[in-house]
Amino acid sequence: MASSTAAGSKLAISAGVPSAQTFAAYGALTYTTIGGIESIGTFGASTEVVNFTPLDGAMEKYKGPTNYGQLQPTVKVDSTDAGQNLVRTAAAPDNNALYAAKIIKPDGSIGYCQVRVFGFPETIGAANSIITAQPVMEINTPILTA
The pLDDT of residue 1: 53
Domain ranges of the chain: 10-43+68-145
pLDDT, average across residues 75-101: 97
Class of domain 10-43+68-145: mainly beta
Q: pLDDT digits over 45-56, tens only?
A: 999 999 999 999
* pLDDT band of 146, cuts 50, 70, 90: confident
pLDDT, average across residues 73-91: 97
Give the whole-angstrom CA distance, residue 48 versus residue 76: 33
Smallest CA-to-CA distance from 11 within 95, 74, 69, 77 is with 74
